[in-house]
Structure 1
Amino acid sequence: MNTIKVKLCSNCGNSFDCGDISQEKKCWCNDFPPIFNFSEAGDCLCPNCFKNRCSIKIEAYLATISPETALNNKAKNLPKTNHLIKGIDYYLENGNYVFKAWFHLKRGSCCGNGCRHCPY
């Protein structure tokens, strides 16, 4: 079992907790998609900066996706998780969840419901 460390964000300088508590309770960053090479992310980022950096990288990736290429996207091969991240997987509109294109790409296919952000 590792211990939690207090780190300073390499982007904004805020302090935050970093590390796994146990095999069952992993660091908060494990809830995010594994889309960075270590050299890209630099040293640890706080949850807010990490989420922003993920969003930027995901939006850049989404710009390369068309309905023709969506079925063969890399997101569908990422480890599956039940944890949804507000701002990355969905946003709220009038109290309703609106799933973003990234959520749909991770699923790997169109559900046929005519979703607003369906990349397929």
Structure 2
Amino acid sequence: MAKKKNVSRTDAVREAVDQAFKTQVPRERLGDLLDELGNTAGRLRGAVDELRPASEAEMKALRAELETLSARVAALEAKPKPAARRRASTGDKPAAKPRARKAPASKPPATGS
């Protein structure tokens, strides 16, 4: 049997607290590392999704959209542009006469007292 060291209570408590802190710090750091690993995995998953080739359903949808746009462009190109309407010339109408101005209302004559 191994001999026990004679340790005072103060030293024993100090050593127990020190040991508790030593185990707590790596646990917190481990939590931070796991969070960081999860975030990195999410970013990696997004990058892989962007790099993967399009699926068959996506290709069919793109083809359908392309055909729709092609038909719309063909319809726009086939229609002749309507000629711009010209405004009727104003030479046929006689010029309007200027309106006569009304004279300003005159003040009533002042009566003297």
Q: Normalised by the size of structure 1, how large is the TM-score?
A: 0.20
Tell me the TM-score normalised to structure 2 length: 0.22
The higher radius of gyration belongs to 2
Which structure has greater strand proportion?
A: 1
Q: Which has the higher contact order (CA 8 A, sep 6+)?
A: 1
Higher normalized helix content (fraction of residues): 2
